[in-house]
Amino acid sequence: MRVAFVQTSPRLGEVRRNLEEAWSLIERVKEADLAVLPELFHSGYAVRNKEEARALAVSHNANSEPVAMCLDAARQFRMNLAGGFLERDESSQNLYNSAWIIGPGGIIGAYRKIHPFDREWDIFTPGEKEPPVVSAAGARVSMQICFDWAFPEIWGKLAWGDEGKNGAQVIAHPVNLVLPDACPIAVRARALENRIYVVCAGRVGTDPGPDGEIIFRGGSRIVAPDGSILASGSEDKPGCEMVTIDPAQADDKYLTPRNHVLRQRFGTFSGESRGDESG
């Protein structure tokens, strides 16, 4: 399986420009089975109020420009894309910081960020449901969004799945990082402690903020189940990178021959060795 991050430099409110930049980078990794875009990649991040956010928000409607662009790329390149969307719920009119996985047939997975960060509390309604685990390119894929990195419990639940079966092998992680170092360190820990792949896609550039410009610090990386970094992006330039992974490696949860990291946390485990495991 080929996975890629797409690190963009969106400008607040310049949707057409942001989508054109994203498309140009997606084309460079068009052989990917799964490409991950940043959090709120189409709108920019630092919306100043709900009115501004609502004007930039999109629903699941395939006619919206951001969804249409992702569908076009998914169909033209036969890939799956995960990205962060500023979502407006048509029934409640609530605004959500969301992530969707889009394949050639449409949206196959949707998640609303559970853990708002800082001023996001003023704009977005927190999500209420854990992200789904969906099948994409033959792998089990789920999502987290940016500040979710600080809450390890849900990562473990996604990796554990249904009593240790059918847990996520790959986590798509759209981010907009403003804290130096914290997320890149945490993402390696989340990968290692759950023995999963993480594809983290960040952004660079600036947005206007209440106390001056907000500087975004990239942070894109692809991390293996042993915590090693397979690819990483620039701290200040857009770009993309693709690597080949074996999702089946994420099904081996033994850190040592007698330490199954998830069954010791969630299940019943008596120190049996890898070869003696019975379920």
Cα of 169 vs its chain's centroid, Å? 13
Residue 233, judged by CB atoms within 10 A of its CB (0-12, 13-18, 19+), counts as buried
Q: For residue 182, what are its two tokens?
A: 């914290």
Q: Measure the CA–CA gap between 250 and 269, rounded to whole angstroms.
A: 19
Question: Which of 21, 39, 87, 120 does the annotation list as catalytic?
Answer: 39
Q: What confidence tens digit (pLDDT) does each residue in 43-69 have?
A: 999 999 999 999 999 998 878 999 999
> What domains appear along the chain, each with residue ranges and CATH number?
2-251 (3.60.110.10)
Question: Which of 70, 146, 183, 240 does the annotation list as catalytic?
Answer: 146
51 Cβ contact partners less than 8 Å away, ≥ 6 residues apart: none
Catalytic site residue 39? yes
Global confidence as pTM: 0.96
Question: Which of 70, 87, 113, 183 does the annotation list as catalytic?
Answer: 113
Q: Going along 94-176, which residue ranges are E strands?
A: 95-103, 106-112, 134-136, 139-143, 170-174
Q: What confidence tens digit (pLDDT) does each residue in 238-250 have?
A: 999 999 999 999 9
- H/E stretch holding 73 reads helix 65-77
Which single residue is written with the structure tokens 């999502």?
143
Q: Could you tell me if 7 and 204 are in contact, meaning their C-beta atoms sit under 8 angstroms apart?
A: yes
pLDDT at 26: 98
Q: What confidence tens digit (pLDDT) does each residue in 19-49 have?
A: 999 999 999 999 999 999 999 999 999 999 9
Does residue 279 carry a pLDDT above 70?
A: no
* Residue of 34, 5, 26 whose CA lies nearest to 141: 34
